[in-house]
Amino acid sequence: MTQERAKTSLSDFLPFLLFQAAEVSSRNFQQHYQSRYGMLRTEWRVMFHLGSVGDQTAKQICDRASLHKTKVSRAVKALERKRFLKRITIEADRRSELLCLTKHGKTAFSELTIVASNFDQQLEQSLGANDHKTLITTLQKLIALPQHNT
């Protein structure tokens, strides 16, 4: 009876664990970008992306961050309104624009980056350097996986 092998506990079902871990680990963070800069999660995500990867088009952000284009579109609009970023026309292809952090945006980014870094170090300490490292590489592996066609 291999049926017994079937998952009857969700405590070790990966999608659930990942969801919970993501929740827990981002909840603390939220208050920083929210209370201090009035940003939403998606806005912070877009900003972090621009700040760390560099200027990009919306499309590129969508692809790299696994975010839907409407989400990005709205986040960009909000960030623009708050003067965190500006758009630059790309003459070669006028469908998309290059999104760049303003000085103000860069300031916010670097401040939040420091918080993020501290946070990460705390986590590293709690988990132990080894597990921390393994966790990261395993997650990267998981994300890069060709779509699991269940």
Binding interface with DNA (CB under 7 A): 40-42, 57-59, 62, 68-74, 76-77, 92-97
Using alpha carbons, list the distances in angstroms from residue 11 to 4, 26, 27, 90, 148. Answer: 16, 20, 21, 49, 21
Between CA 69 and CA 66 the distance in angstroms is: 9
Decide which of a copy of itself, DNA, none touches 35; Cβ closer than 5 to 8 Å per partner kind. Answer: none
- CB-count burial class (<10 Å; 0-12, 13-18, 19+) for 68: exposed
Nearest alpha-carbon partner for 50 in 58, 137, 123, 140: 58
> What is the nearest approach in angstroms of DNA to the Cβ of residue 120?
23
DSSP 147: P
Decide which of a copy of itself, DNA, none touches 40; Cβ closer than 5 to 8 Å per partner kind. Answer: DNA
Decide which of DNA, a copy of itself, none touches 86; Cβ closer than 5 to 8 Å per partner kind. Answer: none
Which one of residues 1, 4, 24, 93 is an interface residue with a copy of itself (CB under 8 A)? 24
In the complex with DNA, the residue whose CB is nearer, 63 or 131, is: 63
Residue 26 contacts a copy of itself per CB under 8 A:
yes
Q: Interface residues for a copy of itself in 84-143 (CB under 8 A)?
A: 113-120, 122-123, 126-127, 131, 134-136, 138-143
Decide which of DNA, a copy of itself, none touches 77; Cβ closer than 5 to 8 Å per partner kind. Answer: DNA
Angle between helices 14-31 and 103-127 (to 10 degrees): 130
Q: How far is CA 34 from the centre of its chain?
A: 15
